[in-house]
């Protein structure tokens, strides 16, 4: 048998070559820089090949950035997912959700920096928000919502929620509405229907949504810098990497921090996806239609 | 299985509008316990709307539904306690067969040993023994169908609603499941309302058939009544009278109708003579015979095992569907006729 025929039997033919541009793209812009960074992280300015990693895990100023970042990213993601599920369940019943979807997409398109600028003006000590609170006597002194943990938290909710919500909505609308009707016919009230039918079918989608939202929140940088206290409670890991690269001009150290950052994200995502194997993962539709 | 006691289900001018469209116009019907009712009609006739209204999945625009003297149309679907078999079965894909069937009992917070006993009983009734641990995705369409039926009946509902439950099955399985559904219905003694567009299904399953068209009840009767005496030409066409033709009726010693030059002795269903009328003949009753008065040329004929079914055209260009015992070939001239009781005449 000719080589061409035996390749064709494996599903490889001329059309397979069309995958090349995309493959090159990934290699050039993702795999190569990643490997370059990985190698660079093992070539410290001073010391042995593990010196960067040793330094990171021995200096509290550096290693605490992991917990600080997790302390922001995990609650934000939990809140966003927890909010988006009930909202999505309601929105799927709306006949024309286009306007709502558009409104929600706007924060994504505006970007974190614009949202941060807006929050600085709006929620600052002399911003409308605090002035209104004082004016109506709801508070005796301005509430501090920027330049601390809550500033970063809020901005990540504002920019992260639409993304989480749109993903969740796509999973929620993927569940056959006939299943809920069948549940109702069998006497299940709305909470029972959610608990026994919708939730189990949504768990895989919610886990994926959680992973993607978490990765976004974990790499927080602009809002942590603009809205948080970048020397204190919101000194997140990306700020540490930035400092190493552009203030200490230590590209090797910065690479090591980036690698640690990636490792933490991968660890959490893998743990979540492993948990997914414990739940039902089949189609969310009823039988063969 | 003991059923919740009830005597009858009453629909009192049940109506449903979608905007300006009247999908259901004043359906009034009394269904006795133990009865099997088929809602028969072409697609878009309102039969699924009727079923969804009965189920509570769709509110009524006006009218009411009563179970003896309890009004149920104001209740939500979860409070009515009716069983429903969906067209696509709507089995819960993440629960195995036994869990699917036991769902309704779990929602009633029954004790576990009672649930297990009744689920086992239902699985036996629908003959699903070995499948109880499998997920719906792992069993065949026919088995999914049985699970859907078992899930609906295990809670012993007074009324079981079925929405074209056989339409997703192949022809052989459809016949098997038809017999199964009838058997299960008889062994339960609940009332069943069965929606279908298939007249054979309705004829073979139902105690009474309700023919719906454009949201209106056109005829209610036993399968034999509907089969032999449809109330109007539309129902007749739907019940298999493929030859529905304009004619002129007259009375000379007996009712007769004309078809071009031919004259046929006929049976009046609802007609005033003499005058224009509509005649209806089933293809199987229109056969070539000695002394047949309708001269027609065969256009095409298909072999159906015992006999041939075909299409013939008269000199005036009228198309007639007929049956022949012996082989006929296109181009052949036939003299067709039908027995008077099989030629039904309606006013036009």
Residue A55 domain flag? no
User: Is residue A262 situated within a structural domain?
Assistant: yes
Residue A107 covered by a domain = yes
Q: Is residue A226 part of a domain?
A: yes
Question: Which residue in chain A has the smallest CA separation from B161?
Answer: A185
Q: What is the mean pLDDT of chain B?
A: 90
In angstroms, what separates the C-alpha of B152 from chain A's closest C-alpha?
7
Taken in order of first residue, the domains within chain B and their CATH numbers are 8-233 (3.40.50.300), 242-347 (2.40.50.140)
**Cβ neighbours around B271 below 10 Å, total:** 23
Whether chain B has a CB inside 8 Å of the CB on A179: the answer is yes
Give which of A176, A184, A185 to mutate to test B binding, by max B Cβ within 10 Å: A185
Task: Note the pLDDT tens digit of each residue in B273-311.
Answer: 788 999 999 999 999 999 889 999 999 999 988 899 999
CB B77 to CB A286 under 8 A?
no
Candidate from A178, A200, A288 with C-beta closest to B86: A178
**DSSP state letter for A97:** T
CA atoms within 13 A on the CB side of A36: 8
**Would the CB atoms of B93 and A196 count as touching at under 8 Å?**
no
Do A280 and B93 lie within an 8 Å CB cutoff? Answer: yes
pLDDT of residue A1: 65
> Of the candidates A183, A189, A287, which has its C-beta nearest B136's C-beta?
A287
Q: ipTM surpassing 0.85, yes or no?
A: no
pLDDT digits (tens, 9 = 90+) for A9-45: 888 888 888 999 999 999 999 999 999 999 999 999 8
Q: Strands B262-265, B294-303: parallel, antiparallel or unpaired by DSSP?
A: unpaired
**A17 part of a folded domain:** no
**Tens digit of pLDDT per residue, chain A (289 long)?**
688 888 888 888 888 889 999 999 999 999 999 999 999 999 998 888 999 999 999 999 999 999 999 999 999 999 999 999 999 998 888 877 788 878 888 878 888 888 888 888 888 888 888 888 888 888 888 888 888 999 999 999 988 999 999 999 999 999 998 999 999 999 999 999 999 999 999 998 999 999 999 999 999 888 888 888 888 888 999 999 999 999 999 999 999 999 999 999 999 999 998 888 777 777 766 544 3
| Tally of domains in chain A | 1
Of the partner residues A185, A196, A283, the one whose CB lies closest to the CB of residue B93: A283
Is the CB of residue A280 less than 8 Å away from at least one CB of chain B?
yes
Does the distance separating the beta carbons of B57 and A184 come in below 8 Å? yes
How high is the pLDDT of residue B3? 47
- Quote the domain boundaries for residue A68: 60-279
Position A173 in a domain: yes
The confidence score (pLDDT) of residue A285 equals: 63
With beta carbons under 8 A apart, name residues in chain A contacting B137: 282-283, 287
What's the Cα-to-Cα distance from B336 to each of A73, A197, B229, B322, rounded to whole Å?
A: 85, 61, 22, 8
**A19 touches B at CB < 8 Å:** no
Distance from CA of A168 to the nearest CA of B (A): 19
| Prediction pTM value | 0.81
CATH of the domain at A237: 1.10.3720.10
Confirm whether A46 is domain-assigned. no
User: Which residues of A fall within a CB distance of 8 Å from B104?
Assistant: 186-187
> CB pairs below 8 Å between A and B: how many?
96
Q: Evaluate whether B126 touches B150 at the Cβ level (below 8 Å).
A: yes
| CB–CB contact A283 B82 (8 Å) | no
Tell whether A208 lies on the interface with B, counting CB pairs under 8 A: no
pLDDT at A56: 93
Would A18 be classed as within a structural domain?
Answer: no
pLDDT attached to residue B333: 93
Cβ of residue A200 closer than 8 Å to a chain B Cβ: yes
Best mutation target among B59, B92, B147 (most A Cβ atoms within 10 Å) is: B92
Q: Are strands B36-40 and B208-213 parallel, antiparallel or unpaired?
A: parallel
Residues of B within 8 A of A184 (CB-CB) are 56-57, 76-78
- The answer to whether residue B107 scores a pLDDT higher than 90 is yes
Among chain B residues, the shortest Cα distance to A189 is held by B78
Nearest chain B Cα distance for residue A167, angstroms? 21
Q: What is the pLDDT of residues A206-230, one digit of tens each?
A: 999 999 999 999 998 888 888 888 8
> A-chain residues within 8 Å CB-CB of B88?
176, 178, 286-289
Residues of B in contact with A205 (CB under 8 A): none
């Amino acid at each position: 048998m000719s080589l061409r025929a035996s390749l064709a039997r494996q599903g490889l033919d001329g059309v397979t070559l069309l995958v090349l541009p995309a493959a090159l793209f990934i290699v050039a812009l993702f795999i190569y820089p990643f490997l370059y960074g990985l190698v660079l992280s093992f070539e410290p300015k001073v010391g042995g090949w593990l010196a960067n990693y040793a330094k990171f895990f021995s200096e509290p100023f550096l290693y605490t950035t992991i917990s600080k970042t997790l302390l922001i990213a995990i609650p934000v993601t939990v809140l966003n997912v927890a909010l988006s599920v009930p909202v999505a369940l309601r929105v799927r019943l709306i006949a024309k959700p286009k306007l709502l979807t558009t409104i929600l997409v706007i924060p994504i398109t505006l970007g974190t920096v614009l949202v941060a600028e807006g929050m600085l003006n709006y929620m600052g000590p002399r911003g409308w928000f605090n002035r209104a609170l004082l004016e109506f006597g709801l508070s005796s002194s301005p509430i501090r919502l920027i330049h601390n943990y809550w500033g970063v938290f809020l901005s990540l909710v504002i920019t992260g929620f639409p993304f989480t919500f749109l993903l969740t909505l796509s999973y929620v609308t993927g569940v056959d509405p006939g299943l809920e009707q069948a549940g109702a016919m069998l006497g299940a009230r709305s909470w029972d229907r959610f608990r026994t039918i919708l939730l189990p079918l949504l768990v895989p989608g919610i886990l994926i949504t959680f992973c993607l939202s978490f990765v976004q929140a974990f790499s927080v940088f602009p809002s942590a810098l603009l809205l948080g206290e970048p020397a204190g409670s919101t000194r997140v890991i990306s700020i540490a990497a930035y400092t190493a690269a552009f203030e200490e001009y230590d590209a090797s150290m910065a690479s090591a921090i980036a690698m640690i950052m990636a490792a933490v994200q991968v660890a959490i995502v893998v743990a979540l996806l492993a948990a997914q194997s414990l739940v039902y993962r089949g189609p969310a539709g009823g039988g063969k239609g | 299985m003991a059923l919740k006691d009830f005597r009858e289900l009453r629909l009192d001018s049940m109506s449903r509008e979608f905007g300006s469209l009247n999908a259901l116009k004043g359906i009034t019907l009394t269904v006795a316990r133990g009865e099997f009712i088929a809602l028969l009609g072409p697609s878009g006739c309102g039969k699924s709307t009727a079923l969804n209204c009965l189920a509570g999945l769709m509110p009524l625009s006006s009218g009411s539904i009563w179970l003896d003297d309890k009004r149920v149309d104001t209740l939500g679907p979860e409070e009515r306690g009716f069983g429903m078999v969906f067209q696509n079965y709507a089995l819960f894909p993440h629960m195995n067969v036994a869990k699917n069937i036991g769902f309704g009992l779990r929602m009633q917070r029954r004790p576990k040993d009672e649930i297990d006993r009744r689920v086992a009983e239902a699985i036996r009734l629908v003959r699903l023994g070995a499948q109880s641990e499998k997920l719906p995705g792992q069993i065949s369409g026919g088995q999914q169908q049985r699970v859907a039926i078992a899930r609906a009946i295990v809670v012993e509902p007074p009324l079981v609603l079925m929405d074209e439950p056989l339409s997703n099955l192949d022809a052989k399985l459809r016949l098997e499941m038809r017999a199964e559904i009838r058997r299960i219905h008889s062994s339960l003694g609940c009332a069943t309302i069965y929606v279908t567009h298939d007249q054979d299904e309705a004829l073979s399953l139902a105690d009474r058939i309700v023919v719906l068209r454009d949201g209106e009840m056109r005829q209610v009767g036993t399968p034999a009544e509907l089969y032999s005496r449809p109330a109007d030409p539309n129902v007749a066409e739907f019940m298999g009278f493929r030859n529905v033709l304009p004619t002129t009726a007259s009375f000379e010693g007996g009712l007769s109708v004309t078809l071009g030059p031919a004259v046929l002795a006929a049976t009046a269903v609802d007609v005033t003579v003499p005058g224009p009328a509509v005649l209806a003949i089933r293809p199987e009753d229109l056969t070539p015979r000695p002394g047949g008065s309708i001269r027609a040329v065969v256009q095409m004929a298909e072999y159906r095992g015992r006999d041939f079914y075909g299409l013939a055209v008269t000199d005036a260009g009228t198309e007639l569907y007929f049956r022949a015992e012996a082989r006929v070939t296109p181009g052949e001239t036939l003299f067709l006729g039908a027995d008077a009781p099989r030629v039904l005449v309606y006013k036009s």
